[in-house]
Amino acid sequence: MSIKKLEPAALNRWVDGILQKQKVYGIQARGDKFVFDQLDRADQLRLDYDVSVTAPKAFLQPPCETLLRFGEKGFESVVESEPFVLFGVHPYDMAAILQMDVVFAEGNPDIHYLERRKNATIVVCDVQNASENVFAGCMGTAVLESGGDVLVTRVGSAYVVESRSARGEALMETIATAPVAGARDLGERKAVWEKNRKLLRRHELKVKPEQLPALLEKSYDHPVWEEKAKRCFSCGSCNLVCPTCYCFNVRDTVSYNLKDGERERVWDGCMLAEFALVAGGHNFRKKKAERYRHRYYRKGKYLHDMHKQIACVGCGRCITACVTKIANPVEIYNRLAEGQK
Amino acid sequence: MSKTVDIHVHHITRVEGHGNIRLRAEDGKVLQCEWQVPEAPRFFEAMVLGRSYEDIQTIVSRICGICSVTHTFAAIKAIEDAMGITVSEQCDKLRMLLHYSEQMESHSLHVGYLVAPDLLGVKSVVPLVASHPEVVKKVIKLHRIGNQWMEAIGGRMTHPVTVKPGGFASLPTEKYLRELKATLTECIPDLKAVAEVVLSLAGKLPAFERPTEYVALVDSPRAYSFYHGGIGTTDSDEIVRPQEFERVANEYVSPQSTAKWCKWHRESYMVGALARFNLNAEQLLPLAAATAKMFGLKKGCCNPYMNNVAQVVELVQVIEHSLQLIDELLTAGIKPELAKSTPREGEGAGAVEAPRGILFHRYAFDKKGNCVKANCCIPTNQNHANIQKDFEALVPQFLGESQDDIRLKMEMLVRAYDPCISCSTHFLNVEFV
Amino acid sequence: MSKPRVAIFDFACCEGCQLQVVNLEEELLDVLSVVTPVEWREAMSEQSEEYDIAIIEGSITRPEDEERVKKIRERAKILIALGACATTGGVNKLKNNFGMDEVRTIVYGKDAAMPHLNTMPTKSVAEVVKVDYMVHGCPINNKEFTYIVRCLVMGKQPVIPNYPVCVECKMRGNVCRYEYGEICLGPVTRAGCNAPCPSAGFWCFGCRGYVDDPNVQAAREVMDKYGKTVEDLKSRLLLFGSKQEHTDE
Amino acid sequence: MISSNTAQPMKDIYLPEPADVLKASPMTALEMFFEFRLASGRELGHMPGQFVEVSIPGIGEAPISISSSPTQKGSFQMVVRKVGNVSGAMHALSAGRQVGIRGPFGTHFPVDGEMKGKDILFICGGIGLVPVRSAINYVLDHRDDYGHVTILFGTKTPADRLFTDEMQRWASAKDVTFMETVDRGDDAWKGNVGVITTLIPKVRLDPARTVAVVCGPPIMYKFVILELDKVGLKADRMYVSLERHMKCGVGKCGHCQVNGLYACQDGAVFKYSDIASVREAI
Ligand SMILES: Cc1cc2nc3c(=O)[nH]c(=O)nc-3n(C[C@H](O)[C@H](O)[C@H](O)COP(=O)(O)OP(=O)(O)OC[C@H]3O[C@@H](n4cnc5c(N)ncnc54)[C@H](O)[C@@H]3O)c2cc1C
Ligand code: SF4
Ligand code: SF4
Ligand code: SF4
């Protein structure tokens, strides 16, 4: 696997070269924030971004996608996907994608996700500027040892570009002749990693992530759920911005002949009031506090029980997105830990 | 010849809002001839009292769904006038561009969907889909372009949300402006085709003339204005500042109407496309001027039915000028400037041309920016008295015709004004001291 | 229901919702393939007293309108309230914050007593007759409208969201207006519009009415976090929420 | 339309396969009985207690239990209560029409495991009888593999009773105790009146050799379990079937979670001892 060193101009040339051949969704500025959107020119890339408004999961599990089409001939699968490059994914978001990979591949593999995933080449880029609420450092996701196809790290005024997979290697074909990153560059990159592990801690989790399942095990009746949930809008913002949330709803739409149509899947969220409502009116998580608790349990325990990974990567998006400021996982977990002492 | 005519059109169709026509005549003598507006009054001038300057346009935009952009601008201009807020050149141009989308949407709707059935002798646009599919398709296309353009710059179709005191809440991208330019350039032939169809039917417009005072915005330097300028009239050279619009409108309550009536130099005046044309015809851009010529529409025309023709001319004008504005905006490049404003005590007024004529808003605010006084004067209000006067002149001329023909002429006359009745029913002069 | 006969009626409103129906453009012809319009004053001259579905736009603001809407209800098998004026009373209810004599005087001055200017406190259609379906919004989302029409023709219950606008706002990838220190009513307002306002950089002003269980109390509690007051919040809630249950809490 | 770059097209877990309606007939005011056969002729291959997702194009999907026993070949049966869109559209079906089917999904009653050789106690409330009927008929079709069979069935009113013809057969089968109750009787009703738990003390059972299968509305479980506990039945001898909101049926959509468990994968049939401490379960 190659490791190259590129000056900014060379990086841009490389990206412009990719743009000739492939569709690229790259991180770019939108007003004073950053979003992943189709890239027209390399100089739109903003690898110095802090956090993207929407998590890159949207390119693998879009907010709304067609699963099936139906009509006279019955149902047929729709798997709409073409090769693309996702450029500039931060390590914590990559960690979240790796979790989604497990969820959609295990048991009953989901071809809609997996096809898109197969078509995606992901360029991970190490964080240059910490966002307002990031705590990936506490979650072990500030830096990623593996995962993604290419890793781009800014060292000094240049970039170290490393391929991490065959697909990444192919993406770097056009820079095969670029200088190889030397020991000094790699040393500097290591320093960046060390720095990021320390820096991406805008909130300090007082327990180790591994301890969360056991901590939650004992906290089902903790007063914090009721206390915080009083202020919850049941708006689902914390779910929808989260890179590890993937729950969905399914609905049918029909055309005017009332026969042809599509079955779509759309993002959903466990914080929404009717998420667990069944026909007949029984709601299995009727109270705000029950839904509020469920979200923390799902992130910190339930999914961990299944996949041995905490389903929070510390991106901090939920902290920002929650209008009433009650969605901060660190605050809640610390609060639970306090009681334990 | 003894003939009784008894026409009672309850809630005239294919107009915005509720209006009634009442005509009784016996032996060639008109006993009653009335244009009545029974629309439920909505009291917007009371509704806005106590509301923040930031929420005013959200409320008053709801005066009218068909000219919501214009109401928004009249309010915003009045607010900015009251608080001494100025906007950038970019903002100004983008506002004009957004404003044009509404002229495009409204005029194509009016001419294509509401008036065309009269000219073709049917009751709605639906049968035209089968009988005149090509024209209908083109009209739909123009209408859709207007709507999508409004949505792209205004944030919504109907009741725009990007317009705030001091500027825009979000800006269109240069990419979008380039697309819009292509779309508008491409639709000119369609517009020409529609104009030709209207031309072929123009003979169906009754030949009726009545010397009338016309009132519209007049800008300085002179331009065919929809957004800038003072209030001009064909009856004098005076140009009245928007801040003094009450001096023009002189609103009064008529027992025939829940909407108020207006008069200036004469007993009534007319606003709208024909008024704008009569005041600004020399300033039309080349294509629009050529279109006017094609129809033989000349400055000084006083046939109210020709208002529909003036609307066609304006459709061309709007596209031509929009293309100019887009070029200017693209040359300068879109700068990321968003709305900023701070409230201040004060009073101000705004005048803008709605598709159906000049519109005035006035507000006064307290220190916190909450509204303490409001007055809006709606184009259709300004036309109601003129419709009545036209009726009075029209009916004796055609009294010999069949009742159905008279009725159709009267309905067509009301429709020619493109009245927006629902928005005309809630206002009166508030005495500002 | 095979090709139901549909009549559209308007009361006190801006007719923007009917305009949204016109704005369907070609799709309107598709709508006409599943329903037969028998009365629609704004678009056609025909009028009829026989219809299966009555669509009502506008608020009820006069006693005679109350009678008219009751008559319509008697004739219609299904009654749909179209747009905020009909579903909640919309901005028309701002009037109810004043006395009726007061509003008449404010607008018509010395002529306020003229009989044809009579008015009563604004009511939504549902406050006068039973409403079977609501198409929320000011103006309506015409896609939602056609969805509801298709559902009815298919005999399916339309699913109208009972979650806040924030859901759709987030799906559209917006930055929250609160991050800019603005009061947005998204968290308490029923979704279904696809969040056009926050997507255009403007706050949600609540035109679709509240979700079933809006946490207005939570909204009050966070105002100071954004440098705003409860009064600021209330003022905005009033625009489309006047005299709705939760505004005065 | 699987895209071309799929080397080996994987199965789409969301793609229903067509099934023909063989029979659709009303049972009560609210419930309708259906018999289906997969259009491909393939056997459904379910076990008692499993469910399928039934699709009506344009309307949606709903999880519905298989009510027939796998011993019945060539077709499978369901009973559907009309409560909303999919169930409503199903009520408009008639023989000859098609629906989409995905599944079978979920766990099943351990008819070939722990239930074997035991006395079986079936306790069903209302429409809860529907999935349990599959197990009852399976057990009766393999009569010698099990001990004594007790069936307790409760409904709100006599009009809500399901499978009344079949009940006669069950009641008269060898070594079967069959008891019924209604919450509210009517003039014609001569049987028990009272909630289903009132039947439990009336049956003689040996907790050491009994397995209980319980299915009914959410509120029923708590009281039935308390009652079973009283007669000494252990939690690991009770099986319950839980209903939850479901969208995918395959453990992805998140709707059916019961704390950390998925009702569609870890259930819908649970051994009660596995969920006794799962707070959201009962
Ligand atoms: C494992 C299982 C087995 C079931 N077996 C049967 C059966 O044999 N017979 C029967 O009549 N009913 C059964 N149900 C309940 C049945 O699934 C619901 O009544 C049905 O989903 C309602 O759908 P609807 O479209 O008619 O109602 P709507 O109210 O229109 O439902 C809207 C949507 O909400 C979801 N939803 C609503 N209620 C439920 C629910 N209870 N469970 C899951 N999703 C729901 C569905 O996705 C549905 O599409 C079962 C449910 C589960 C979970
Ligand atoms: S729970 Fe919050 S911080 Fe954790 S991954 Fe999700 S959005 Fe980010
Ligand atoms: S973002 Fe905040 S208010 Fe909204 S659902 Fe999540 S916790 Fe509740
Ligand atoms: S902008 Fe408004 S609608 Fe969007 S997330 Fe924020 S509060 Fe919700």
- Which of A326, A330, A331, A332 should be mutated for ligand 3, with most atoms under 8 A from CB? A326
Return the amino acid letter for B278: N
The letter for the amino acid at A168 is G
DSSP string, A123-135: EEE--SS--TT--
Mean pLDDT for D105-121 is 96
Q: Which residues contact C18 (CB under 8 A, 6 or more apart)?
A: B65, C8, C10, C40, C42, C43, C57, C82
Give the closest-approach CA distance of C55 to chain B in angstroms: 16
Question: What single-letter amino acid sits at B399?
Answer: L
Question: What pLDDT shows up at residue B260?
Answer: 78
The alpha carbon of residue D87 is apart from the nearest alpha carbon of chain C, in Å, by 11
Residue B96: the pLDDT is 98
Residue type, A7: E
The label of the residue with tokens 């989901």 reads A110
Residue of D nearest to A271 (CA): D255
Is the CB of residue B371 less than 8 Å from the CB of residue B243?
A: no
Q: Which long-range contacts (CB under 8 A, 24 or more apart) does B232-239 make?
A: B232/B279, B233/B264, B233/B265, B233/B269, B233/B279, B234/B275, B234/B278, B234/B279, B235/B264, B235/B265, B235/B266, B235/B269, B236/B265
By percentage, how much of chain D surpasses pLDDT 90?
87
Q: Which of A84-98, B254-268, C34-48, D214-228 has the highest mean pLDDT?
A: A84-98
D235 in Cβ contact with D214 (< 8 Å): no
C-alpha to C-alpha distance for B78 and B376, rounded to whole angstroms? 10
Q: Closest by alpha carbon to C134, among C87, C179, C100?
A: C87
User: Cβ contact (<8 Å) for A325 and C222?
Assistant: yes
Question: Rounded distance, CA B77 to CA B352, Å?
Answer: 9
Looking at all shown ligands, the one closest to residue A317's CA atom is: 2
**pLDDT(D158) > 80:** yes
pLDDT digits (tens, 9 = 90+) for A281-318: 889 999 999 999 999 999 999 999 889 999 999 999 99
The DSSP output letter for C174 is: P
CA of A67 to the centre of ligand 2 (A): 27
Give the C-alpha separation, A81 to A267, whole Å: 18
Is C44 touching D (CB cutoff 8 A)?
Answer: no
Strand D17-26 to D98-105 pairing: antiparallel
Phi, psi of A210 (to 5 degrees): -60, -25
Question: Any residues with CB less than 8 A from the CB of D168 and at least 6 apart, and which?
Answer: none
What distances in angstroms separate CA B386 from CA B215, B242, B392, B405, one per listed residue?
Answer: 12, 22, 10, 21
Provide residues with CB under 6 Å of ligand 1. A 278-279; D 51, 60-65, 78-81, 83-88, 127, 130, 243-247, 268
| Residue length of chain C | 249
Cα–chain-centroid distance for residue A303?
15
The chains in contact with chain D, meaning 3 or more Cβ pairs closer than 8 Å, are A, C
* Mean pLDDT for all residues in chain D: 93
3-state secondary structure (DSSP) of residue D266? coil
For residue B429, what pLDDT is reported?
Answer: 25
Q: Is A175 helix (H, G, I), strand (E, B) or coil?
A: helix
Q: Which ligand is nearest to the CA of A244?
A: 2
The enclosing H or E element of D79 equals: strand D76-81
CATH number of C5-153: 3.40.50.700
Per-residue pLDDT at C192 = 97
Query: What tens digit of pLDDT does each residue of C212-235 get?
Result: 999 999 999 999 999 999 999 999
Q: How far is CA D282 from CA A276, D256, D259, D278, in A?
A: 14, 14, 11, 8
From the CB of C198, is ligand 4 less than 6 Å away? yes
Contacts by C174-178, CB closer than 8 A, 24 or more apart: C174/A53, C174/C198, C174/C199, C175/A31, C175/A33, C175/A53, C176/A237, C176/A320, C176/A321, C176/A323, C177/C202, C177/C203, C177/C204, C178/A323, C178/C226
pLDDT at B12: 63
Q: Write down all domains in chain D, each with its CATH number in brackets.
A: 17-105 (2.40.30.10), 119-241 (3.40.50.80)
Question: Does any ligand 3 atom lie closer than 6 A to the CB of residue A75?
Answer: no
Please indicate whether, in this complex, the C-beta atoms of C156 and D92 are within 8 angstroms of each other: no
Q: Computed over its alpha carbons, how large is the radius of gyration of chain C?
A: 19
Sign of torsion over alpha carbons D269, D272, D273, D278: positive
Residue B53: closest CA among B338, B264, B347, B296: B347
Instruction: Indicate contact of A with C: 3+ CB pairs under 8 A.
Output: yes
Closest in C159, C173, C187 to A233, CB measured: C187
In this prediction, residue D6 carries a pLDDT of 44
Judging contacts by C-beta atoms under 8 Å, the chain D residues touching residue A78 are 1
CB contact under 8 A, A63 and C171: yes
3-state SS assignment for residue B216: strand
Torsion of CA B335, B336, B337, B340, to 10 degrees: 180
The whole-number pLDDT of residue B177 equals 98
Q: What are the boundaries of each domain within chain C?
A: 5-153, 165-241
Please name the residue ranges forming H helices in C8-113: 16-22, 27-34, 63-75, 84-87, 100-108
* D4 pLDDT higher than 90: no
- At C217, which helix (H) or strand (E)? helix C216-222
Write the CB contacts of A181 (distance below 8 Å, at least 6 apart in sequence).
A3, A4, A5, A160, A161, A162, A189
Q: Is A134 left (phi over 0), alpha (psi -120 to 50) or beta?
A: beta
Both tokens assigned to B220: 């300085």
Q: Is the CB of A273 under 6 A from ligand 3?
A: no
Domain ranges of chain A: 3-199, 209-340
Regions of chain A where pLDDT drops below 50: none
Token output for B346:
């004060």
Phi, psi of B289 (to 5 degrees): -60, -40
Q: What is the pLDDT of residue B433?
A: 25
The CA distance from D266 to A291, in Å, is 21
Q: From the first residue on, what is the mean pLDDT of each consecutive set of 10 residues in chain B (433 residues)?
A: 68 66 85 79 88 96 93 98 96 98 94 86 82 91 96 95 97 97 97 93 91 96 95 96 94 78 92 97 97 95 95 97 98 94 96 96 96 92 91 89 87 86 40 25
The residue whose CA is least distant from atom 53 of ligand 1 is D243
CA–CA gap between residue B105 and residue B149 (Å, rounded):
9
**pLDDT over 70 at C243, yes or no:** no
- Which residues make beta-bridge pairs with B20? B36
Chain D contact for C235, CB < 8 A?
Answer: no
Q: Does residue D247 belong to the interface with chain C, where contact is any CB pair within 8 Å?
A: no
Measured in residues, chain A has a length of 341
Q: What is the pLDDT of residue B20?
A: 84
DSSP H/E element including D90: helix D85-91
Q: How far apart are the first and last CA of chain B?
A: 58
pLDDT at residue A341 in the model: 57
With beta carbons under 8 A apart, name residues in chain A contacting D262. none
- Alpha carbon separation from D69 to A152, B279, D17, D134, D136 (Å, rounded): 59, 87, 21, 4, 8
Partner-chain residue, chosen from C33, C162, C167, that has the shortest CB–CB distance to A240: C167
- Report the distance separating Cα B113 and Cα A321, nearest Å: 45
| Tokens 């079936």, located at residue | D122
Query: Which residue has a Cα nearest atom 5 of ligand 4?
Result: C166
Helix-helix angle B133-154:B174-201, to 10 degrees: 150
Considering the segment(s) B44-424 as one domain, its CATH architecture is Orthogonal Bundle (1.10)
Identify which of A112, A145, A124 has the alpha carbon closest to the alpha carbon of residue A47. A124
* CB of A109 closer than 8 Å to CB of A145: no
Instruction: List the Cα angle C220/C226/C229 in 5-degree steps.
Output: 45
CB C66 within 8 A of CB C181: no
Q: Residue A245 C-alpha to ligand 2 middle, in angstroms?
A: 9
3-state secondary structure of A275: coil
d(C-alpha C36, C-alpha C208), whole Å: 28
A238 lines ligand 3 (CB under 6 A): yes
